[in-house]
């Protein structure tokens, strides 16, 4: 897919420029070593115009990720939110995906840099995992050991692990992978968190070996508000295989129902699952909640 046209504008190092004119150095530390931090954010069209869902949470996580990787970050969260709204307006986008990326200046050493580039781009992006139920495989790749990196930060280099897992799954005829942690417990998808339902209770891997998803937190709040218990803990593949239903959550994927794991289908119809109800509630919330957060109101 093409992410920009001749007219697309991006924010790049303090300026608004055409995406087609944006350039970077071939000596960028990011290109060679994967050192950069980014976010994935969604904006939704509401009755009051375009509105960014959980903008503060996303830019706070970006700031956190940058700090963890010693990447200088000189913009306030509020400024980045304002820039994001301007970006959407300049590109005539309402329902859109926003991608801020903070990446170091050229540096071939393995030391932190003094300056970093700031890019914010946006494009129209359908649900990342589509809208059909997913056939998932347990990956032969594990999520990175949290003692080898800041697994809770959104760092570009971590996504080589995600690329390996998704590619393996696709090559084997599945739609998506599910990764375990280094101790063999369920962790998360390559770009989304996992929930499963058993006897009308929801279960999700605890924080520690996963990216603490903003959608995950939203789904826990929504489930609790709907009267469902959510248990965060360490679960095995067998727990998932014995579950009634399961789904992924993420900003790009939203709520994506899972049909089967390693070829074993869940017995509960997706339409009868808590995940389905939450998917509906999430779709309402991103528009309603956005209305309350909208800077113009
Ligand atoms: N886990 C991973 C590895 C991800 O890349 C993402 C997407 N950012 C998520 C979980 C979901 O996070 P969020 O709900 O904040 O988008």
* Residue 35 DSSP one-character state: -
Task: For ligand 1, say whether the CB of 40 is within 6 Å of any of its atoms.
Answer: yes
Which is catalytic among the residues 20, 54, 68, 154? Answer: 154
Q: Take atom 4 of ligand 1 and give the residue whose Cα is closest.
A: 191
How is domain 134-285 classified at the CATH fold level? D-amino Acid Aminotransferase; Chain A, domain 2 (3.20.10)
Cα separation, 295 vs 145, whole angstroms: 40
**Residue 52: HSE in the Cβ half-sphere, 13 Å Cα cutoff:** 26
Nearest-atom index, ligand 1, CA of 39: 8
Distance 6 CA to ligand 1 centre (A): 30
Going by C-alpha positions, the residue among 18, 14, 15, 16 that lies closest to residue 5 is 18
What does the DSSP 8-state code read for residue 159?
Answer: H
Residue to mutate, 60, 161, 250, ligand 1, most ligand atoms under 8 Å from C-beta = 250
CA distances to 74, 191, 222, 258, 261 from 283, in Å: 33, 19, 11, 18, 25
How far is ligand 1, taken at its centre, from the CA of residue 177, in Å?
14
Q: What pTM, to 2 d.p., does this model score?
A: 0.96
Using DSSP bridges, classify how beta strands 9-12 and 37-38 pair: parallel, antiparallel or unpaired: unpaired
Domains 9-123 and 134-285 share a fold: no
Give yes or no: 198 in active site. Answer: no
What are the sequence ranges of the domains in the chain?
A: 9-123, 134-285
User: Residue-wise pLDDT tens for the chain (297 aa)?
Assistant: 789 999 999 999 999 999 999 999 999 999 999 999 999 999 999 888 899 999 999 999 999 999 999 999 889 999 999 999 999 999 999 999 999 999 999 999 999 999 999 999 999 998 988 889 999 999 999 999 999 999 999 999 999 999 999 999 999 999 999 999 999 999 999 999 999 999 999 999 999 999 999 999 999 999 999 999 999 999 999 999 999 999 999 999 999 999 999 999 999 999 999 999 999 999 999 988 554 554 443
Q: Helix, strand, or coil here: 49?
A: strand
Name the token pair of 66.
Answer: 């940058």
194-200-204 Cα angle (round to 5): 20
**Count of alpha carbons within 13 angstroms of residue 225, beta-carbon side:** 11
CB 3 within 8 A of CB 81: no
Q: How far apart are CA 259 and CA 244, in angstroms?
A: 10
Arch. (CATH architecture) of 9-123: 2-Layer Sandwich (3.30)
Q: Which residues pair with 17 in a beta bridge?
A: 10
Q: Are 30 and 103 in contact (CB under 8 A)?
A: yes
């Amino acid at each position: 897919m093409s992410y920009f046209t001749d007219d697309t504008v991006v924010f790049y190092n303090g300026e608004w420029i055409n995406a087609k004119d944006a350039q970077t150095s071939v000596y960028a530390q990011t290109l060679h070593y994967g050192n950069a931090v980014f976010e994935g954010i969604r904006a939704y069209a509401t009755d009051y115009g375009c509105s960014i869902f959980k903008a503060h949470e996303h830019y706070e996580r970006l700031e956190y990720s940058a700090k963890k990787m010693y990447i200088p970050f000189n913009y306030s969260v509020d400024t980045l939110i304002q820039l994001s709204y301007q970006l959407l307006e300049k590109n005539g986008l309402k329902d859109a995906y926003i991608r801020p990326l903070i990446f170091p200046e050229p540096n071939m050493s393995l030391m932190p840099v003094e300056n970093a580039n700031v890019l914010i781009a946006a494009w129209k992006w359908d649900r990342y995992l589509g809208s059909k139920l997913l056939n998932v495989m347990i990956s032969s790749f594990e999520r990175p050991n949290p003692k080898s990196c800041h697994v809770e930060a959104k760092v570009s280099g971590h996504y080589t692990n995600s690329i390996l897992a998704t590619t393996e799954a696709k090559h084997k005829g599945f739609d998506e992978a599910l990764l375990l942690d280094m101790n063999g417990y369920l962790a998360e998808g390559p770009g989304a968190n996992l929930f499963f339902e058993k006897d009308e209770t929801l279960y999700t891997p605890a924080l520690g070996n996963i990216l603490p998803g903003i959608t995950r937190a939203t789904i826990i709040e929504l489930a609790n508000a709907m009267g469902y218990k959510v248990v965060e803990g360490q679960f095995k593949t067998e727990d998932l295989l014995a579950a009634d239903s399961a789904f992924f959550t993420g900003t790009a994927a939203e709520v994506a129902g899972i049909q089967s794991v390693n070829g074993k289908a869940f017995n509960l119809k997706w339409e009868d699952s808590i995940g389905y109800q939450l998917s509906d509630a999430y779709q309402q919330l991103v528009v309603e909640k956005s209305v309350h957060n909208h800077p113009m109101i």
